[in-house]
Amino acid sequence: MDDREAMRERNRELLARRAGHPPETVEICRDLERRFPGWSVWYSKRDFLDHRYPHYAARLRDPHFRDPCLHASDPEELAVLIKGENERGDRWWRGPR
């Protein structure tokens, strides 16, 4: 783990604690990111448009592809959605921003 990634993980823990997220959510997000490389996963207690809350969310890390933001009420439901996106494989290339 490089310095930048280590700082990201420390910040993730700090922000989760300050936001009052359940303590297990950080490790659940890390586990999903290990299972699905290339995806960023987070937990939110806030409502997002028509999505349930609290919920888990994920987005592709690569900014050059269409990056759907997936939302699910539990981590296993999110895993199914990410797996489905990975299997679809029809992401549109957007080119560098």
pLDDT digits (tens, 9 = 90+) for 73-92: 899 999 999 999 888 876 65
Q: CB neighbours of 66 closer than 8 A, spacing ≥ 6?
A: 91, 92, 94
The reported pLDDT for the residue numbered 27 is 96
- Stretches where the chain sits below pLDDT 50 are 95-97
The reported pLDDT for the residue numbered 75 is 95
pTM of the full predicted structure? Answer: 0.80
The reported pLDDT for the residue numbered 95 is 47
**Contact between residue 70 and residue 82 where contact means Cβ atoms under 8 Å apart:** yes
State the DSSP string of 20-69.
T--THHHHHHHHHHHHSTTEEEEEESS-BTTB-SSEEEEEES-TTB----
